A = this chain, B = another copy of it.
Amino acid sequence: MEKPLWRPDRNSQIPLHLQITEYLRDKIAGGEWTVGTRLPSQRSLAESFGVNRSTVVAALGELAAAGMIEGGRGGGTKVVNHTWGVLASTPPPDWNAYVSAGIHYPNLPAVQEINRSEFHPGLLRLGTGELSPELLPREEMSRLLRRMADHVPDLGYGEPNGDLFLRELLASRMNSQGIKASPECILIVSGALQALQLISVGLLQRGSTVLLERPSYLYSVPVFQSAGMKLQGVPMDEDGLRPELVAPYAKQYGGALLYTIPTFHNPTGIVMSQQRRNRLLEVCQKAGLPILEDDVYRDLWLDEPPPAPLKAGDSSGVVLYMSSLSKTLSPGLRIGWITGPQPVIERLADIKMQSDYGSSAFSQRLAAECLSSGMYEAHMESLRTKLGLRRQAALDSLQRHFGEGLAEWSIPNGGFYIWLKLNRTAAPRKLFDAALKQGILINPGHLYDPEAGNRIRISYAYASLDELESGLARLAEIVASL
């Protein structure tokens, strides 16, 4: 559980431990910590309150004496009654049962921990799949916000498919990449993850199987599993997904959809060759197997532009195409899009209206300003240079610290990731914990492939150059010591 954000007032006349007692009493009586809730440890409470542990012990003693909490043998302290002094006649609903009853899968524990840890200052984040704040265009955004102030977007509910101006800009952008997309066949979503969520509940039956690369980003989010679908990995090689396996796998596992990241694949960084793309389209068209193309890394090429999207070669509507501005411009914008057959887009738009009545009008308009002003292109150009330097620095550090037989890796041509292969096996959880203890947050390989225990996803996009060097040095020591 997250620790409280409150702190006692050191200038108050009331003793610290009584302030804490009162605060915790209110938290329990007010229903934030219901009966059955397990309290954070004394140590962590003392830390978040900024007091000695003995002060916390005194406060907890008062609450225990009043019958509100009970220390367990080894099991920590739990809330047992929500009223002070008298046993409540009617217990509140058992929220913990509700929390575990819901349909949706929780995030993987390691992912939950990563989500939380990412906001602890001081942690060195070696695997984060996001641009470092210093790479984000703050000044340009500030300029565009000022422009937006003169053209405030419509403050009302938006159209089901999203802001028309933004859709027109995206249509013309995709056209330049070889994709023929009309604005009415584009749906604006709150990031690519929402596209996956809508597709999971909008197009597939419970029990269907989604084929995907193995490893894949998709293994790290239980979005399809929560909707009752199964994932079936298809092996890759250095040119990407192996198309000759798709039809047999689809047949054997009853695949209903193939999810692929053909360009700067997450986590391997691989770019599917043009030949493979043609072959994959052919195979899927023949099998009547729809492809979901996730193209969020396309604009992050470093050496040369990647081959055209699968969707550009799609002459029969077999490809649903999704992308986003989160990896290139600003994750906080929460703007992505899908394009594909019109009935599919309308179905997904209808579900989106039922999920959140559309994406933020401000984010949509700001995204449109970024694209229409030329800011996006200029930003991408400068970003490529900076990312290129970071990639080189990461490769140099890897060579220095892992080069002597500790690990192997390939050089990515774009995107964020290096898919590090350790030459010794370590229990992934142990490695994760050991690194975290030293202040390093890593994305272990098993998040992307249950069997890739000896892999680590390294990102050269987030940590600073200094952090990459010192973090990889320390990580190498940890790996060597395990």
If the complex has contacts A148-B145, A184-B5, are A37 and B343 also in contact, measured as CB distance less than 8 A?
A: yes
Tell me how many chains of this kind the complex includes. Answer: 2
Flag whether A221 is at the interface (Cβ < 8 A): yes
Q: How far is the CB of A227 from chain B (nearest CB, A)?
A: 6
Residues of B within 8 Å of A1, CB to CB, are 342-343, 346
A96 located at the interface, meaning its Cβ lies under 8 Å from any Cβ of chain B in the complex: yes
Contacts A99-B344, A152-B141, A343-B99 given: A182-B288 contact, CB under 8 Å?
no
The answer to whether A37 and B342 have CB atoms under 8 Å apart is yes
Check A106 for interface membership: any CB of B closer than 8 A: yes
Set of chain B residues within 8 Å of A316, measured between Cβ atoms: 29, 31, 34, 82-83, 88, 90-92
A152 to B332, CA, bound (A): 11
- For window 46-95 of A, CB contacts with B under 8 Å fall at 82-83, 88, 90-95
- A426 vs chain B, min Cβ distance (A): 27
Give every chain B residue within 8 A of A164 (Cβ-Cβ).
Answer: 5
**With the chains together, A366 CA to B360 CA distance in Å?**
11
A317 touching B30, Cβ below 8 Å: yes
Task: Give the segment of A153-161, A406-414, A428-436, A472-480 that binds chain B.
Answer: A153-161
Write the chain B residue with the least CB distance to A330. B155
Bound: A94/B257 CA distance, A? 12
Chain B CB within 10 A, most for which of A98, A133, A223, A329? A98
Given A155-B133, A203-B101, answer yes or no on A182-B32 (Cβ-Cβ < 8 Å): yes
Contact A160/B115 with A142-B150, A356-B194 known, Cβ cut-off 8 Å: yes
Interface pair B360/A190, CB less than 8 Å apart: yes
| Contact, CB under 8 Å: B148 / A346 | no
Shortest Cβ gap from A434 to chain B (Å):
25
A9 to chain B, nearest CB (A): 16
Knowing A142-B152, A290-B98, the reply to whether A32 touches B181 (Cβ < 8 A) is yes
Is the pair A155, B332 in contact by a Cβ cutoff of 8 Å? yes
Contact B332 A30 (CB under 8 A): no
Interface residues of A in 95-153 (CB under 8 A from B): 95-96, 98-99, 101-104, 106-107, 112, 115-116, 118-119, 130-131, 133, 136-138, 141-143, 145-146, 148-150, 152-153
Min CB–CB distance A40 → chain B (angstroms): 10
Chain B residues closer than 8 Å to A194, beta-carbon distance: 355-356
| Distance, CA A154 to CA B37, complexed state (A) | 33
Give chain A interface residues in 342-370, CB to chain B under 8 Å. Answer: 342-344, 346-347, 350-351, 353-363, 366
Are A190 and B193 interface neighbours, CB within 8 A?
no
A267 interface hit (Cβ, 8 Å): no
Contact of A153 among B182, B190, B193, B332 (CB under 8 A): B332
A274 at the interface (CB under 8 A from B): no
Instruction: Tell me, rounded to whole Å, the shortest Cβ–Cβ distance linking A472 to chain B.
Output: 22
Is the CB of A318 closer than 8 A to any CB of chain B? yes
Where the two chains meet, the residues of A that have a C-beta atom closer than 8 Å to any C-beta of B are 1-6, 26-27, 29-34, 37, 82-83, 88, 90-96, 98-99, 101-104, 106-107, 112, 115-116, 118-119, 130-131, 133, 136-138, 141-143, 145-146, 148-150, 152-161, 164, 180-185, 189-191, 193-194, 197, 201-206, 221-223, 226-228, 256, 285-286, 288-290, 314-319, 326, 329-334, 340-344, 346-347, 350-351, 353-363, 366
What are 19 pairs between A and B in contact, CB < 8 Å?
Answer: A4-B182, A30-B314, A31-B317, A32-B182, A33-B341, A88-B316, A90-B285, A103-B206, A112-B350, A138-B152, A141-B155, A155-B329, A157-B331, A190-B356, A197-B354, A223-B355, A326-B357, A332-B361, A362-B362
